[in-house]
Amino acid sequence: MRKPNGELSFRFLIISGWLVISAGSTPLERSTYIIHMDKSLMPKAFTSDNHWYSSTIDSLEVVSSLTASDHSPQYSSPQLLYSYNHVIRGFSAFLSEAELKQIKKSPAFVSAYKDKKVVVDTTHTVDWLSLNPSTGLWPASKFGKDVIIGVIDSGVWPESKSFRDDGLPPLPAKWKEIYFNKALIDRQPGIKITMNSPRDIYGHGTHTASTAAGNYVENVFFFGYAKGTTKGLLGQKEVIPQMLLPETSAAMQKGILLSASAGNDGPTHGNLKNDIPWALTVAASTTYRSFAGTLTLGNGLTIVGWAMFPANALLENFPLFYNETLALCDDFEMLSRSPYAIIICDDTGRVLDQLEYVARSNVVGAIFMSDDPVIFERGGVPWPGVVISQKEAPAGIKFQQTIIGKKPAPTVALYSSRGPSRNCPGILIPDVMAPGTLVLAAYIPSRPAAMIGGTIQLSSDFNVLSGTSMACPHAAGVAPMLKAVHPEWSPAAIRSAIMTTAYRLDNTDSPIRDNGNQLRMASPLDMGAGLIDPNRALDPGLIYDATSQDYINLLCAMNYTRRQILTFTMSKHYNCSNPSNDLNYPVFVGIYENKTSAIVQTFKRIVTNVGDKAATYKATVTAPKGTVVKVSLDKLVFRKKYERQSFFLTIRYTSREDGTVQFGWLTWMQDNGRHSVRSPIVISPLMINI
């Protein structure tokens, strides 16, 4: 018989295999399964993903009817439930185990797992970033086996459950343990070291290390909020709890990627904490999780507001009191004369100050009328209170609630430091954005994690913190897993993969917005290339690579002295014969100081095909406002893997009148749609009007 092709072959395998397995079978029991498929192997006979998946299920229906001996509900046909073509490629279906086995015979089958009811993760940023044990970066990297992450922070609390080694293999042979503190003692002979070891006495290092590489810990929460299972970005962990900051350039030259936090001095532009040109600098975002308090009025009306009071306070049937003078909530004497009631505080734009005054008063509780993003990002409510955006009579408040599905999300966090870089304006810093707001991770029990009023301190083994320090370890956890899968990739290649695959849309399919700028569209100076997408970074299609010499050329062009350059190269044998500000980097940044500078700018880039085979990419440009952007080649043709192609991108300014940031995108799209390689184009004055 002639060998059938594509769809017919797939159907034949399913039907023949099913008839053999089903002979004399017991009644069918079906469950819901989520199936991941390789879309690149979809037979050409199908017009769409959904057509392919529905045809697959239809072929099972024929078999099912052949094997059913009666008409009871348990013999109902298999059903296609959903098709997925964004975060994952595949579908969910109602199948028996035998039917699932037949689907697994398809060459395009990737993985399958049974749908089940689960508790929402507290450190849910892992799920927010679509990491899962079945497909993508986690299993591809063997869950970080033999990966070592160096955490430059305040140390770790080794007793934390997040640092258990249950079920983990032995430490890799290359691990060499040492604690560095001699230089500190030498510089300060009389220093009194509270804990002469890598033990964390501040909590910050424990939190960041467990975020990057913490083990699974079940049934944890922050005083009733965010209940679930915590886990870091790596399934298996070896954290380096050392305090030595190595020369970052030496790390880069040794193939080690440095992930650094952008700083917490936003939303003003130009206040970056770290703008190292070879580091992956990370901004902070919010997520779609929110902590809530429910306000119930005497007439039955319920309003869900924001709350993080760290106790299950019982506030029921108290009078609701509003007084125009008292409602400023900024005077201890006035608050002391408040009736024993739940008071309403007007929006004064100073909600943190109001919280402090109320916490030190004797009021029962408070309703804060505020849209100030500071409180939603910082957390820490030391008195029974809920933040809402409207006024509505007796009332009660219920605390310790967690809500998933907030929109829009992500947004750029208010506090996250923005570019441009003062030291290296041609590099987009921050590079990317990662979850950094109200992240739950391990903490130390010897320091307070929350307060009630102004005097009662509460400890916890887990804490919710906000900052770019919380965002940074998310990227730090992704980078070494990419290195584990692609050991030949340089730090620049890994950074490129993370940047060109980042999300730029939120969960409303709109451009990501900025909490620090009245929820206007965020620019790459705020969020970098977008929110990291670990699974897409595993297979970016093209990379913009850079060598150590490329970075030396950059330093030479920045007019560094010989001695300064030596601190980076750590060798006098360096070459400054070809200085260049134009680093081979997946962003095009045009910084101008006045209206007359740089009418035209040209950038040269080299991209490397890291796909499995030959490929063709076409260029699509969205030009920043006030510019005309041209690419020297509208098509890149690669005959094999690791082949390199070069192109030029030219920006011509037509207007620069308002002094604001303008941006667009260059996207290289593979002709079969498998890869989309996106780079920001940023036009900015050195001093920005926001």
CA distances from 286 to 125, 374, 409, 438, 466 (A): 10, 12, 7, 8, 9
Q: Is 640 helix (H, G, I), strand (E, B) or coil?
A: coil
DSSP letter string over 134-198?
Answer: SSSHHHHTGGGTT--EE--SS-B-TTSGGG--TTPPPPPTT-------HHHHHH-TT---SSSSS
Distance between CA 13 and CA 638 in Å, rounded? 35
**Given the residues 83, 96, 121, 153, the one annotated as active site:** 153
Tell me if 485 sits within 8 A of 538, measured CB to CB: yes
120 CB-contact burial (10 Å; exposed 0-12 / middle 13-18 / buried 19+): middle
Distance between CA 202 and CA 195 in Å, rounded? 11
CA distances from 232 to 27, 178, 213, 501 (A): 42, 24, 5, 21
DSSP state of 596: T
Q: Which of 605, 341, 641 is nearest to 486 (CA)?
A: 641
Distance between CA 112 and CA 105 in Å, rounded? 12
Tell me if 452 sits within 8 A of 417, measured CB to CB: no
Distance between CA 63 and CA 667 in Å, rounded? 45
**Given the residues 36, 204, 474, 486, the one annotated as active site:** 204
Residue 102: CA count within 13 A, CB half-sphere: 27
Helix pair angle (204-213, 468-485), 10° resolution: 30
Give the pair of three-digit tokens for residue 474: 């998310």
3-state helix, strand and coil shares in percent for the chain, rounded to the nearest 5: 25, 30, 50
Q: Please write down the HEC assignment for all residues of 426-489.
A: CCCCCCEEEECCCEEEECCCCCCCEEECCCEEECCCEEEECCHHHHHHHHHHHHHHHHHHCCCC
Tell me if 389 sits within 8 A of 351, measured CB to CB: no
Give the pair of three-digit tokens for residue 520: 């206007």
Tell me if 282 sits within 8 A of 431, measured CB to CB: yes
Examine the residue annotation and report whether 86 is marked as an active-site residue of this protein. Answer: no
Examine the residue annotation and report whether 153 is marked as an active-site residue of this protein. Answer: yes
**Given the residues 83, 421, 469, 496, the one annotated as active site:** 469
Q: What is the CA radius of gyration of the chain?
A: 28
Residue at token pair 């409602």: 327
Phi, psi of 383 (to 5 degrees): -145, 150
Residues with a catalytic annotation lie at 153, 204, 469
